[in-house]
């Protein structure tokens, strides 16, 4: 009688008491994978995660573990790293804590999967990549937006030749983050303190790098203007503090193939668009507008012939000429989808190109964006040498 093969993988999850770590990585990814019976590799073979939660607050850890049905938690990272059944170290801490903890995990022989930015500098991020490669350990970086339904539909359109030659990308990201004077802020206060690794340029240009590189063309240059539109906010205790990091970024990118991308990102903007993130892609044969979950297209043959006349109401409905891309498949949670691929990479050695080097590229673009803002000039983005 054949018995099922179950690969039980211990995962150290550090920093999951934060909003993103709790919701996306623990509840909607690892717990969801456990609840579905694991990652199924084939008939009778499964990967089953066995998480241990790590953090600094024992009360929070105990409560979160109980809610998620997790039996293991600790405030002692060294103890978790010393346990040989824990194969993977995952980091969702604040940015300035990440590199040191990842180094410690690499020294303990753990495979690495972490949030971005992976470090506070390109040099530090490259050091992590080189350490992991030297130790022949597997490593990955969260690049969740590549698995969002809207972005996957854009990729399908690109791969099918729908756009013809891609000319440009226009993007808008962001929403109003309350200051705390009358309504509770919905983002942590460290996001607005440069000394704690905060700032929207460091945060979002890491995302823009992998989206642009993977969907449209390698980023070759950047011109970025940052701003701190809201100079004072209230922290988690209700105390007012001065914001030392940028809360808005206005960036233009040159991509391989002559493609131009312009993306604005702000935590001080009110939303009047289809979604919190919207990308418009224009090509010689057609255009598409994608949000997080949906995508609309307008091919060349259905493009209206507009004539400029501001002295009368336009007879055309700008929205009516777009067709929604029909759902052709089911899309799982974007974080969960990448987690499953990384678990398959660790257990079976399946390809996983979204590694620490790709994470370093995100940090590089953020640094180049900050440099551009400081110099008020275009800055080249050279190829990173691993």
Mean pLDDT by 10 residues, the chain (386 residues): 82 94 96 97 95 96 96 97 98 94 98 96 97 98 97 97 98 98 95 93 97 98 98 97 98 98 98 96 98 97 89 86 90 97 98 98 98 98 92
pLDDT for the residue numbered 334 = 97
- Cα-based distances in Å from 81 to 31, 60, 201, 338: 21, 21, 32, 23
Sign of CA pseudo-dihedral 346, 366, 254, 277: positive
Please check whether residues 257 and 340 belong to one and the same domain: no
Q: Which of 380, 373, 154 is nearest to 278 (CA)?
A: 154
Please check whether residues 25 and 155 belong to one and the same domain: no
Name 230's Cβ contacts closer than 8 Å, sequence gap at least 6: 177, 179, 192, 243, 247, 267, 268
Please check whether residues 169 and 308 belong to one and the same domain: yes
Please check whether residues 295 and 153 belong to one and the same domain: yes
d(CA 45, CA 270): 48
CATH assignment of the domain containing 75: 3.40.50.720
Q: Cβ-count burial of 310 within 10 angstroms (0-12 exposed, 13-18 middle, 19+ buried)?
A: exposed
d(CA 81, CA 214): 33
Overall domain count for the chain = 2
Please check whether residues 165 and 60 belong to one and the same domain: no
The answer to whether the peptide bond before residue 250 is cis (omega within 30 degrees of 0) is no
pLDDT for the residue numbered 386 = 83
Please check whether residues 158 and 204 belong to one and the same domain: yes
| Residue 386 covered by a domain | no
Q: Which of 186, 179, 185, 200 is nearest to 245 (CA)?
A: 200
- Cα-based distances in Å from 28 to 20, 68, 180: 10, 10, 28
CATH assignment of the domain containing 320: 3.30.360.10
| Residue 153 covered by a domain | yes
Please check whether residues 119 and 268 belong to one and the same domain: no
pLDDT for the residue numbered 3 = 57
d(CA 10, CA 83): 9
Strand 232-234 to 86-91 pairing:
unpaired
Q: Which range marks the domain in which residue 172 is found?
A: 145-331+363-380
Strand 219-227 to 379-380 pairing:
antiparallel
pLDDT for the residue numbered 307 = 84
> What pTM does this model have?
0.94
| Residue 385 covered by a domain | no
Please check whether residues 297 and 350 belong to one and the same domain: no
d(CA 94, CA 101): 11
Contact (CB, 8 A) for 131 and 356: no
Contact (CB, 8 A) for 112 and 81: no
Please check whether residues 289 and 166 belong to one and the same domain: yes
Please check whether residues 139 and 149 belong to one and the same domain: no
Q: Which residues pair with 234 in a beta bridge?
A: 240
Please check whether residues 89 and 160 belong to one and the same domain: no
Could you tell me the two tokens for 36? 């579905």
Please check whether residues 343 and 301 belong to one and the same domain: no
3-state SS string over the chain?
CCCCEEEEEEEEEECCCCHHHHHHHHHHHHHHHHHCCCEEEECCEEEEEEEEEECCCHHHHHHHHHHHCCCEEECCHHHHHHCCCEEEEEECCCHHHHHHHHHHHHHCCCEEEECCCCCCCHHHHHHHHHHHHHCCCCEEECCHHHHCHHHHHHHHHHHCCCCCCEEEEEEEEECECCCCCCCCCCCCHHHHCHHHCCCHHHHHHHHHHHHHHHHCCCEEEEEEEEECCCCEEECCCCCEEECCCCCEEEEEEEEHHHCEEEEEEECECCCCCCCCEEEEEEECCEEEEECCCCEEEEEHHHCCCCCCCCCCCCCCCCCCCCEECCCCCCCCCHHHHHHHHHHHHHHHCCCCCCCHHHHHHHHHHHHHHHHHHHHCCCEECCCCCC
């Amino acid at each position: 009688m054949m018995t099922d093969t179950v690969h039980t993988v211990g995962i150290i999850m550090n920093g999951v008491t934060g909003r993103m770590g709790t919701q996306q990585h623990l509840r909607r990814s690892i717990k969801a994978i456990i609840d579905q019976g694991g990652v199924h590799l084939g008939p009778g073979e499964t990967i089953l995660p066995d998480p241990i939660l790590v953090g600094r607050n024992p009360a929070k850890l105990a409560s979160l573990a109980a809610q998620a049905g997790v039996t293991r938690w600790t405030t002692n990272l060294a103890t978790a790293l010393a346990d040989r059944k824990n194969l993977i170290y995952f980091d969702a801490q604040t940015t300035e804590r990440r590199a040191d903890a990842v180094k410690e995990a690499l020294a303990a022989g753990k495979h690495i999967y972490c949030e971005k930015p992976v470090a506070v500098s390109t040099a530090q991020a490259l050091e992590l990549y080189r350490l992991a490669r030297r130790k022949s350990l597997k490593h990955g970086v969260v690049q969740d937006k590549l698995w969002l339904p809207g972005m996957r539909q854009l990729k399908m359109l690109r791969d099918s030749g729908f756009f013809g030659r891609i000319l440009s990308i226009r993007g808008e990201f962001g929403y109003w983050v309350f200051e705390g004077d009358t309504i509770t802020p919905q983002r942590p206060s460290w996001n607005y303190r440069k000394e704690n690794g905060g700032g929207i340029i460091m945060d979002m240009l890491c995302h823009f790098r992998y989206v642009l590189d993977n969907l449209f063309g390698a980023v070759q240059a950047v011109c970025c203007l940052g701003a701190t539109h809201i100079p004072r906010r209230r922290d988690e205790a209700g105390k007012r503090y001065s914001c030392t990091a940028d809360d808005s970024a206005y960036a233009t990118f040159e991509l391989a193939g002559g493609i131009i991308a312009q993306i604005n990102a702000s935590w001080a903007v009110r939303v009047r668009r289809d979604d919190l993130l919207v990308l418009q892609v224009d090509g010689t044969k057609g255009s598409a507008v994608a949000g997080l979950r949906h995508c609309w297209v307008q091919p060349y043959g259905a493009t209206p012939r507009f004539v400029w006349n501001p002295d009368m109401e336009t007879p055309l409905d700008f929205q009516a000429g777009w067709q929604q891309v029909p759902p052709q498949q089911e899309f799982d949670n974007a974080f969960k989808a990448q987690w499953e691929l990384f678990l398959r990479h660790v257990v079976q050695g399946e390809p996983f190109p979204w590694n620490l080097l790709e994470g370093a590229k995100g940090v590089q673009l953020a640094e180049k964006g900050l440099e551009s803002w400081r110099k008020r000039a275009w800055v080249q983005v050279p190829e990173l040498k691993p």
